[in-house]
Structure 1
Amino acid sequence: MAARVVGIGMDYSATSKSALTWAVDNLIDGGDQIVIIHVLSPSSDPPTKQLFQDTGSPLIPLVEFREINVSRQYGLTPDPEVLDLLDTISRTKQVRVVAKVYWGDPREKLLDAAEQLKLDTLVVGSRGLGPIKRVLLGSVSSYVVQNASCPVTVVKGPPKPIKS
């Protein structure tokens, strides 16, 4: 099987971490490339935003992304748990891991990433909004599933605790 380019939407929420874990456990094979896709609010203003606002950042190799100064240049605060998982998968399965940062509407930027990066598949988390909230707030995952240029897997987040 040929190596694939697998995009994973990441905002460090529990649902995006679930999506990453699911992709690592069920989808990623040796030789694949994982692109961790961050979409930041247009109001965030890191130093590099002006350079890359239209196209997103260049691909950032994991070894550079781990450096706090590099992450801060893009307005990110990486999660140690996510970085450890990415380090482990890159070593154990010989997977290339890179990150890319976009600024704007997550719906549109995830679609841009699918096309620009020629993703073979995209994995995103779902907040599990009910039908009314989904209509009022809009669902990023629903929009991406309906409009992406590649197959999309939506991973539901961890179950919510039952209130007694």
Structure 2
Amino acid sequence: MADCKRIGVAVDFSPCSKKALKWAVDNVARSGDHLILISVSPEGNYEEGEMQLWEATGSPLIPLSEFSEPHLMKKYGVSPDAETLDIVSTAARQHGIIVVLKIYWGDAREKLVEAVDNIPLDSIVIGNRGLGKLKRVIMGSVSNFVVNNASCPVTVVKSHD
């Protein structure tokens, strides 16, 4: 099974990240591949829980069976929505895709690029929020940053309807 791929998908559980996830499942992931959902939470002052333990390296890879459990995810401060869980559990069940979640804390742009090398990923799929030009200049586009800095192929899924 040497030809199995590790495909990262940036997820923040927004409509545009779900569109990117669905696109990855429909167009890239094949049976036996690892679909690695990457969630980046802003840094905060966490008093307890897994965040302190994994702040530098990100969480361990969390299997689908665990990230489907809201009480287990609470300790990471992440709550995947029903639609995202439905997309990935269907992919796992119907297509034999192995789905895991990795959570990072910090700047989304830097952490997504870091994930490419640390996991490592064969490719990454990311949604594009479609920010206006001004907002993009002020905030910086996460997808632009990843396209320009990741060491693997990047697919940007546009979110306009």
The corresponding residue for 1:29 is 30
1:121 aligns with 2:127: no
SS in 2 for 1:84: helix
Q: Deviations over 1:112-134 (max 9, x none)?
A: 11010110000000011222221
Q: Deviations over 1:72-125 (max 9, x none)?
A: 010011101111111110011111000000000000000111010110000000
Q: Structure 2: which 5+ residue stretches go unaligned?
A: none
Q: Deviations over 1:38-83 (max 9, x none)?
A: 0001026361111000000000000011111211010011101111
Structure 1 window deviating more from structure 2 (102-111 vs 67-76): it is: 67-76
The corresponding residue for 2:152 is 150
SS in 2 for 1:128: coil
Letter in 2 for 1:8: V
Give the 4+ runs in structure 1 shifted more than 4 A: none
How big is the alpha-carbon RMSD for the aligned residues of Structure 1 and Structure 2? 1.2
SS in 2 for 1:88: helix
Identity of aligned residues (%): 48
Q: Deviations over 1:11-47 (max 9, x none)?
A: 0111101100111111111110000100001026361
Q: TM-score by structure 2 length?
A: 0.95
SS in 2 for 1:149: coil
Instruction: State how far apart, in whole Å, the 2-side matches of 1:32 and 1:44 are.
Output: 36
Measured after TM superposition, the shift of residue 158 of structure 1 is: 4.0
2:34 and 2:99 in contact (8 A); partners too: yes
2:130 and 2:160 in contact (8 A); partners too: no
Instruction: State how far apart, in whole Å, the 2-side matches of 1:156 and 1:63 are.
Output: 30
Q: Structure 1: which 5+ residue stretches go unaligned?
A: 160-164
Letter in 1 for 2:57: T
